[in-house]
Every structure is written in C-alpha cells, then in structure tokens.
Amino acid sequence: MEFANGTKPKKCRELLEAYERRAASAGAASKLIFGGVGGRDVYNIAAPFEDEGESVIAGRVERRDSEESEIVFFTEKEGVWTPREGAPVLRLQDPFRAEIDGELLIGGVETYPDPDRPGGLLWRTVLHRGTKIADLKPFFRGPERMKDLRLTRLTDGGVGVFTRPQGDKGGRGKIGFLRLEALDELNADDIEQAPLLEPQFDDEEWGGANEIHLLADGRLGVLGHIACFDDHGDRHYYPMTFVFDPETGMHTEIRLLAVRADFLPGPSKRPDLRDVVFSGGLIRQSGGRALLYAGVSDAEAQVLEVDDPFGTFESRGGLRE
C-alpha cells in the first residue's frame, strides 16, 4: 500500500474501474431475515457483536415510505432476527458500535426540526454508553449537520475520532480525524476543528467512516463509504476501505470493497437508491477473508463474503515499508 497524501482524489468512476480491473473475489451473499417489526424494513445494520453472552445486531428500522427511524437490537433464533426482549429502542438512524475501556458505545443519527426551514430537518450524531445494552445512556450530541462520527481506542491509550463535516469545510461530506486523551474529552468544538484527511473525495462527491479496526501495529483500518450522483440525479454508494496512521496522519488510497452487483437482487426504497450499499461492519476471519454487513438499496440488510481488506497490510507492513 502507498501513501495517498498529496495525490489527486479519485472519483467513484475511477475507483469502480480499478475494482473491476482487480477482479476482486467477492463470495456468497445472503439476506438477513428480520421479524417482529410490523412489516417495516431493517437496513443499515451494524456488524453483530456479543452482549451478555448473546449475539446481537443493531439495525435501522423504518417504513418504506418514511425516514422516521428507530434503532432496534435484534437476536437470532432459527434463522430469524427479532427484537431483543427488554432492550432499549433508540430514536436514531444508522447504528454503529465501538468499545473503549470496557464500555460499549452505540451511536446513530438524530434528526430534528430545522427552525429556519418549516418542514425541514437537521441532523447530528448521538452517542450512548454503558457496560452493556441494558445500561446504555445518552452522553454526547455532536455538531449540527454532522453524521458519521466514529470512535476507536488507540494503542497509546488515547481515543481516535473520525469526523465528517459538511458545508464550507467539508462540502458534501469529507473525513477528518481528531485525537483525544480520554473519552470524556469529547466535545463539539474540537470535532468541528479536526483537520481533514486530504485528499480523499472530489468536491462533487462525498463519503464517511463507518467502522474502525485497530490493526496489530497500531494503525487504523477504516471501513467506510464513498458516494456520488449520476447525471440523472440517482445516488451511488460504494463500500470502501483505507488505512490511516494516527501518529503521522498518513493514509492509503481509498479502495472499493464491493459493489451492489455483488449482493443479491432485491427491492429499493426509491428508484434513485437502487445502487446504494451502506457499509455497516466487517467481521474479519481467518484465511484472509471477512464478512461485510451492509444496508442494501435502503430497504434490506445483507452479508457478503469479501477479501479481508486489512490482512495484507498487517502482514506486509503497509505504510511504513
């Protein structure tokens, strides 16, 4: 892997061409079956994790004709994921998870009325913390108009925070990074001032981090997404990865991990969302493979076997070669 710092950002079109040239070996895809949600869609899931000895998935739940969402925690029995009895339901979109100093962090996107635009909405990232799902309490609301905050423990004991400003600083959405000494130092001002990882996204495109993997040598494997509009106004979202060195600020080029055609056919929330894959989480496995959990076409959740995007990096040294 080579440094990307100082090079021109590649557009979705170029990344897609590179993905097709690589002939990446995506394996079998399967749909996750959900029940107990009154016919609503479940999508944009996080990867499953263990809570009190039980495997749990957090998913975005909403009706096909609405974006009024809840995060629901599901457990599986006989191939069907149903809401976990007694678990909280969070009035948020797009769940994510991290663990820092033995605490579970669950976050999502909160939408709320825009006082300057009747009928319009604003959004921000909200974080909950606790020793387990049953103990979760809200503890942080991020800056206005910022989705995709992601946190991780660093090997030196600090906390890494990936940000995603929009507007004057971030355009349609770009990734920044901030280092804190402890989780309790998290604050909106520092998040807004975090420097961007340049270059990563063309000004007409956008992206964000979805899940962070602490690698063996202390660098960070980032699972994220990159997105664009086509000439017809349709959206295209692609799962992508890169590796970031929190000590130097250097990072590798973005690489696509999968495309919509790698997944099984299915419905979409709207026609303009057919080519949307939103990265939820990655379960790394032995043998250089991994399972990608994702929301597909804003209507369902699937899991796809892919090459482990960080395995070669760990075995060969990556950025420091």
CATH assignment of the domain containing 252: 2.115.10.20
Number of domains in the chain: 1
**pLDDT of amino acid 317:** 56
SS3 per-residue string spanning the chain:
CCECCCCCCCCHHHHHHHHHHHCCCCCCEEECCECCCCCCEEECCCCCEEECCEEEEEEEEECCCCCCCEEEEEEEECCEEEECCCCCCECCEEEEEEEECCEEEEEEEEEEECCCCCCCEEEEEEEEEECCHHHCEEEEECCCCECCCEEEECCCCCEEEEECCCECCCECCCCEEEEECCHHHCCHHHHHHCCECCCCCCCCCEEEEEEEEECCCCCEEEEEEEEEECCCCCEEEEEEEEEECCCCCCEECCEECCCHHHCCCCCCCCHHHCEEEEEEEEEECHHHEEEEEEEECCCEEEEEEEECCCHHHHHHCHHHC
Sequence letter at residue 135 = D
Residue 274 within any structural domain of the chain: yes
**Confidence at residue 3, expressed as pLDDT on a 0 to 100 scale:** 55
Residue 2 counted as domain residue: no
Is 112 within the bounds of a domain? yes
| pLDDT attached to residue 220 | 97
**How many whole angstroms separate alpha carbon 61 and alpha carbon 69?**
6
Measure the N-to-C terminal CA separation of the chain; round to a whole number of Å: 9
In a domain? residue 39? yes
Q: Is 310 exposed, middle or buried (0-12, 13-18, 19+ CB in 10 A)?
A: buried
Distance CA 153, CA 146 (A): 21
What distance in Å separates the CA atoms of residue 318 and residue 255, rounded to the nearest whole number? 14
- Residue 126: exposed, middle, or buried by beta-carbon count in 10 A (0-12, 13-18, 19+)? buried
123 domain residue, yes or no: yes
Range of the domain at 178: 12-320
| C-alpha span between 217 and 242 (Å, rounded) | 15
Would the pTM count as exceeding 0.85? yes
pLDDT in tens, 296-317: 999 999 999 999 999 988 765 5
Tell whether 3 is covered by a domain. no
C-alpha 133/C-alpha 85 separation (Å) is 11
Sequential pLDDT tens for the chain (321 residues): 455 666 789 999 999 999 999 876 778 999 999 999 999 999 999 999 999 999 999 999 999 999 899 999 999 999 999 999 999 999 999 999 999 999 999 999 999 999 999 989 999 999 999 999 999 999 999 999 999 999 999 999 999 999 999 999 999 999 999 999 999 999 999 999 999 998 899 999 999 999 999 999 999 999 999 999 999 999 999 999 999 999 999 999 999 999 999 999 999 999 999 999 999 999 999 889 999 999 999 999 999 999 999 998 876 555 554
Residue at 4 is within a domain: no
Asked if residues 190 and 208 have their Cβ atoms less than 8 Å apart, the reply is no
Of the candidates 32, 15, 4, 21, the residue with the CA atom closest to the CA atom of residue 292: 32
302 neighbors 263 (Cβ within 8 angstroms):
yes
Report the pLDDT value the prediction gives residue 319, as an integer from 0 to 100.
54
